[in-house]
Amino acid sequence: MIIPISIQHSLFNVDSFRAEDLTKYQLLVQEVLEIRSNDKTLTFLPGKRLRNASEADDLLQNMLLNAYVGRGQTCFIRQKESNELVGIIEIIPPHVAQEYYELDDYPYFIEFYLKHRLTGRSVMS
């Protein structure tokens, strides 16, 4: 199991899955769908598009299971003031990356999805 991440910033919080996320699961499904179905958000990762809530639900279940067995970790970026989900960070460990890529060295891979309105605002810096 991977150690949970929790980063507090003046405007944003970055956290792994929290118990609170499970109590508001259907809202989380909709928030993830909104981010992962936006054309501008997916400019560089078009193959990661979600088409409906069922796909978002499946993705969230896989993210939770992957964290539990050490195959990856998902963090949610939320605006501190409103608790709105504004981004998703997926951390892919070397042993999982090795299943998909042929490289000399296998680093951790990081994929992030940010609501388009926050692009260019140094959120990921």
Range 21-117 has CATH code 3.40.630.30? yes
Q: Provide the whole-model pTM.
A: 0.88
Provide the Cα torsion 112, 122, 29, 101; round to 10°: 0
Give pLDDT, residue 117.
Answer: 75
Give pLDDT, residue 123.
Answer: 66
Residue length of the chain: 125
Q: How confident is the model at residue 62 (pLDDT cuts 50, 70, 90)?
A: very high
Contacts of 32 (CB under 8 A, 6+ apart): 50, 56, 59, 60, 85, 88
From CA 33, how far away is CA 51, in angstroms rounded?
A: 8
11-15, 75-79, 115-119: which range is least confident on average?
115-119
From CA 15, how far away is CA 47, in angstroms rounded?
A: 25
Percent above pLDDT 90 for the chain: 73
* In the chain, where the domains are located: 21-117
17-21, 60-64, 71-75: which range is least confident on average?
17-21
